[in-house]
C-alpha cells in the first residue's frame, strides 16, 4: 500500500509570491491534515479536510488556505509569502480523522522564502 505522498519536495519562492502544495493520502483515507514545522514553533496544526470539507482550522492567517478533492487529494495554498513562511509543511492522512485513528505523515515539502 502506497504511503502519503507530497509534491513538490522542495520549493524556493520569493516574498509576495504564492505557492500551492499537494498531498495524496493513503488509499481509503478520507481525512487530510496539514501541519507547519519550524525550528522556533515546532509542529503546528494548519487545518483538516474530510470529504472535501474543512472540518478544523488552526490559528493561521487567511493567507493559508486549502481544499480537498473528491479523490481525497488535498492542496494547500499560501498567498503573499513572507520570510516567516519558510518551513517544512507536512500532511497527514487517516481514515476518518484524529479521534483514535492512526495518522500517517508524508515526507513533507520544504518551502524556502527568499
Partner 1 sequence: SQELEQSPQSLIVQEGKNLTINCTSSKTLYGLYWYKQKYGEGLIFLMMLQKGGEEKSHEKITAKLDEKKQQSSLHITASQPSHAGIYLCGADASSRLTFGEGTQLTVNP
Q: Answer yes or no whether residue 100 interacts with partner 1 by CB under 8 A.
A: yes
Q: Answer yes or no whether residue 33 interacts with partner 1 by CB under 8 A.
A: yes
Give the integer Cα–Cα distance in Å for 4 and 22: 11
* 23-to-27, 41, 76, 104 alpha-carbon distances in Å: 12, 22, 8, 12
Beta carbon of residue 45, minimum distance to partner 1 (angstroms, whole number):
4
Q: Answer yes or no whether residue 22 interacts with partner 1 by CB under 8 A.
A: no
Beta carbon of residue 16, minimum distance to partner 1 (angstroms, whole number):
26
Q: Answer yes or no whether residue 66 interacts with partner 1 by CB under 8 A.
A: no
Residue among 68 and 80 whose Cβ is closer to partner 1: 68
CB-based contact 90:43 (threshold 8 Å)? yes
Q: Answer yes or no whether residue 68 interacts with partner 1 by CB under 8 A.
A: no
> How many CB atoms neighbour CB 36 within 10 A?
21
Give the integer Cα–Cα distance in Å for 53 and 40: 30
Residues that bind partner 1 in the complex, under the rule CB under 8 A: 4, 6, 33, 35, 42-43, 45, 48, 55-56, 58, 88, 90, 92, 97-100, 102-108, 110
Amino acid at each position: 500500500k502506497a504511503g502519503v505522498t507530497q509534491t513538490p519536495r522542495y520549493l524556493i519562492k520569493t516574498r509576495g509570491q504564492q505557492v500551492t502544495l499537494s498531498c495524496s493520502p493513503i488509499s481509503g483515507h478520507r481525512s487530510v491534515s496539514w501541519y507547519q514545522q519550524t525550528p522556533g514553533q515546532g509542529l503546528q496544526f494548519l487545518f483538516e479536510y474530510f470529504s472535501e470539507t474543512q472540518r478544523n482550522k488552526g490559528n493561521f492567517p487567511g493567507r493559508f488556505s486549502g481544499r480537498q478533492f473528491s479523490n481525497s487529494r488535498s492542496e494547500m495554498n499560501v498567498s503573499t509569502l513572507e520570510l516567516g513562511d519558510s518551513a517544512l509543511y507536512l500532511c497527514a492522512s487517516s481514515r476518518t480523522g484524529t479521534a483514535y485513528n492512526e495518522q500517517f505523515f508524508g515526507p513533507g515539502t520544504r518551502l524556502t522564502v527568499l
